[in-house]
Amino acid sequence: MTALSWRFVGAAVLAVALPFTAAACGVGGDKLVIGMKFDQPGLGLRNPDGTMSGFDVDVATYVAKELGYPEDEIEWKESPSGQRENLIESGEVKYIVATYSITDAREQEVSFAGPYLVTGQSLLVRADDNGIAGAESLQNGKRLCSVSGSTPALRIKDKYPGVQLQQYDTYSACVEALKDGAVDAVTTDEVILAGYAAQSPGRFKIVGRPFSQERYGIGLKEGDTALCVKVTEALKKMEADGSWKAAFDRNLGPAGITAPAPPAPDGCHKAGDD
Ligand code: GLU
């Protein structure tokens, strides 16, 4: 054979071999990047050994599997409350499962599949503090911590303007401040607070009744209806085959919360829906 035809054979072998290499490491060799909280025990937590655990992790992993991505093809991207819309809009994450409430304002920028969990805003205080019974009792000079870009922080500014609100980047930073006495209470969704209370037994307590309804959705690019439909179908399947309840009991059971009936994911929530 001439040098030219050897080159041809070489090119043909490459052309055949390349697609297989790509297939072996997933769709085009790319990882599926999922937005997640890294510091919320019971929901989204990165453990010291690098593994991930929590209800949101299990939901995100189940959905990924339904989309054709096994666990080892997932890349987790930390998504603090105030950065979630940006991370979706910039395309840095495919979707976000991070205690992310479906709201009209957010629907102007992103779409949501869900809801997959319903909870409500509440208050966490030190176990020995008997001076705070609910949001009203914070008005007389108490220092309250929440997170910038979150619905609980917005609601406090709106409904309880007399409260001294301090906004941090993460709830774990708020909980540290509560431990140290730098703030008197932390506010966010009850399931999140229960996770922190369970992590430090005897140190904190949840007071009052939940005073909002937070419906968690999976955030994704605005108008990506095809993805939104697939994610909704995956959520429905997770609820129907018992995986949703198993994940709830495993992750939130230790915090003393019993699994409610799963909410019916009613499709894609986007601007102009409601
Ligand atoms: N669910 C609320 C929200 O999306 C509070 C929890 C959080 O900040 O992740 O803003």
Query: Which stretches within the chain are classed as H helix?
Result: 3-24, 55-66, 84-89, 104-107, 151-159, 171-180, 190-199, 225-240, 243-252
Question: What is the predicted pLDDT for the residue at 28?
Answer: 53
The whole-number average pLDDT for the span 208-219 is: 96
99 and 137 inside one domain: no
Question: What is the predicted pLDDT for the residue at 126?
Answer: 98
How many domains are contained in the chain? 2
231 and 114 inside one domain: yes
How far, in Å, from the CA of 150 to the mean position of ligand 1? 5
Query: pTM for this one?
Result: 0.89
Percent of the chain with pLDDT over 90: 82
Confidence of residue 22 (pLDDT cuts 50, 70, 90): very low
Report CA-CA distances (Å) from 119 to 3, 92, 101, 102, 115.
70, 28, 9, 12, 11
199 and 226 inside one domain: no
Does the beta carbon of 61 sit less than 6 angstroms from any atom of ligand 1? no
> Most confidently modeled of 28-37, 52-61, 262-271?
52-61
Question: What is the predicted pLDDT for the residue at 270?
Answer: 86
Query: Prior bond to 152 cis, omega within 30?
Result: no
Q: In what order do the strands lie in the sheet with 52-53?
A: 39-40, 44-46, 52-53
- The encoded tokens of residue 265 equal 């994911």
**Which ligand 1 atom is at minimum distance from the Cα of 214?**
1
The whole-number average pLDDT for the span 111-116 is: 98
The whole-number average pLDDT for the span 94-115 is: 97
Question: What is the predicted pLDDT for the residue at 25?
Answer: 45
Name the least confident of 51-55, 82-86, 136-140. Answer: 136-140
Q: Residue 172 pLDDT more than 80?
A: yes
Span 38-55, pLDDT tens digits: 999 999 999 999 999 999
Does the beta carbon of 189 sit less than 6 angstroms from any atom of ligand 1? yes
The whole-number average pLDDT for the span 195-216 is: 96
137 and 72 inside one domain: no
36 and 115 inside one domain: yes
Does the beta carbon of 100 sit less than 6 angstroms from any atom of ligand 1? yes
CATH number of the domain at 138, please: 3.40.190.10
Asked if residue 221 is part of any domain, the answer here is: yes
User: Of all protein residues, whose CA lies closest to atom 6 belonging to ligand 1?
Assistant: 99
The domain of 64 spans 32-119+215-269
Does the beta carbon of 214 sit less than 6 angstroms from any atom of ligand 1? yes
Pocket test for ligand 1, best of 147, 148, 174, 211 (most atoms within 8 A of CB): 147
Q: Residue 7 pLDDT more than 50?
A: no
CB contact at 8 A, 265 and 232:
yes
User: Of all protein residues, whose CA lies closest to atom 10 belonging to ligand 1?
Assistant: 150
Euclidean distance between CA atoms 265 and 215, whole angstroms: 10
Q: Residue 16 pLDDT more than 50?
A: no
Does the beta carbon of 188 sit less than 6 angstroms from any atom of ligand 1? yes
